């Protein structure tokens, strides 16, 4: 059961690595990521995070409102820390929140560092 939630988070990690690699290649060529790709990255991030919360919530048998998954999809930067705090406590919730935010921000950070370096 927990495997499904972990595999969804692993999928987000793999997607981040792929998108970061593409960002690195473009940054080395002095190019920016196309706007459509940025929008697609944002959509996939929202989908993966919402799906991960859905699976994790089911595995932990947490009863939350039906609309909670929609809240996660549309406002995940605000709702995800709340969910992780409620489901895991302060320490583990903050660490997992930091991990997810690092995954989401990694491509932009890598591209910024490469642009500054070049």
pLDDT in tens, the chain (118 residues): 456 556 667 888 898 899 888 888 888 888 888 889 889 989 999 998 998 898 888 888 888 888 898 999 999 999 999 999 988 889 998 999 999 999 888 888 888 888 787 7
Find out whether 89 and 83 touch, Cβ atoms under 8 Å.
no
Give the Cα separation of 61 and 59 in Å (integer). Answer: 6
Task: Give, rounded to a whole angstrom, the gap between the first and last alpha carbons of the chain.
Answer: 46
Quick one: which of 60, 83, 64, 62 has its CA closest to 1?
A: 60
Please give the pLDDT value at position 76: 93
């Amino acid at each position: 059961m927990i495997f499904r939630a972990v595999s969804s988070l692993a999928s987000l990690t793999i997607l981040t690595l792929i998108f970061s690699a593409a960002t690195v290649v473009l940054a080395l060529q002095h190019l920016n990521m196309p706007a459509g790709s940025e929008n697609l990255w944002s959509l996939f991030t929202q989908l993966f995070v919402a799906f991960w919360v859905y699976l994790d919530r089911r595995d932990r048998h947490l009863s939350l409102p039906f609309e909670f998954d929609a809240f996660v999809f549309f406002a995940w930067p605000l709702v995800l820390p709340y969910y992780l705090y409620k489901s895991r406590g302060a320490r583990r919730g903050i660490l997992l929140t930091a991990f997810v935010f690092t995954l989401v921000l990694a491509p932009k950070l890598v591209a910024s560092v490469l642009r500054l370096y070049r």
